[in-house]
Each structure stands twice: as C-alpha cells, then as structure tokens.
Amino acid sequence: MSEQEAVLFANEAFYRAFADRDIAAMAALWAESARVCCIHPGWEAIHGHDDVIESWRAILTGSAPPQIACISPQVYFFGDAAFVVCFEEIDGNYLIATNYFVREGGRWRMVHHQAGPTRFTPGDLPAEKAPSIN
C-alpha cells in the first residue's frame, strides 16, 4: 500500500467510524502521544485526546447523529504528517473538512479534524480544480 493509500485508508476509517457510530473505532483513530484538536461546525476548539473523544461520544451517541459521506478527498504530505481536504455530505448538505494525520506507532493517526460551511458542492468544481488522488 502506498503512503497516499494509507492516509486515504485512515481518512476513510474516520468516516466509517462516524457513519457506523462506532466510538471505539473513532477513539482508535486519534493519536495518543501527539497533541490533538478538533473543531466541529459551530463549536469551539476542543483540545486534548480525552476531550476530543468525549465530543465524538456526544455526537455518535446522540439521538440523531447525522449520516455522513466523504467526497473528493485530496492528500497533501509534509514528511511524517499529512492532511486530507474533502467535502463532507451530511444529510444532503455539504461541508468542507480538513483532517490532519501523523505517523504514530507505524500508522497514520488523526491529530486534527475541522469541518465548516462551504459555498461549493463537489459538482461545482471545474475539472481543472477537481481533486485528484493520482
């Protein structure tokens, strides 16, 4: 598996844990030795592993967690760090998200997630601006 495929796999695991409401899988994705931060849409920044996981527990165990899908992920590398920019489709609406990963214990683990509003949808992007994972 290439490094790009490994990061995309970690990114997909994040969205799979979200969609499946799997708090154990979500917790396993987040780095434990690196500092972490998460900014959910409309929330303040949440710092620290325990607080980030508690925020996900609240979302995933809520009465109506949203249905989510990752669309058009694009990976950017910086040595042993990488980030993915993608669209999130949530209940028919779109957000733009950035997911940061670092190598920890031989695998890519999340250190930051931030999602927020976007004025575009994946279909709005001209072909030359559309993400490519080649």
What is the signed CA dihedral for 119, 59, 7, 104, rounded to 10 degrees? 140
Placement of tokens 């976007």 in the chain: 118
41-89 confidence digits (pLDDT tens): 989 999 999 999 999 999 999 887 678 999 999 999 998 899 999 999 9
Res. 130: pLDDT tops 80: no
Placement of tokens 């760090």 in the chain: 81
The helices-and-strands tally (H runs, E runs) of the chain is 3, 6
| CATH architecture of the region 3-129 | Roll (3.10)
User: Which residues, 6 or more positions from 48, have their beta carbon under 8 angstroms from its beta carbon?
Assistant: 35, 36
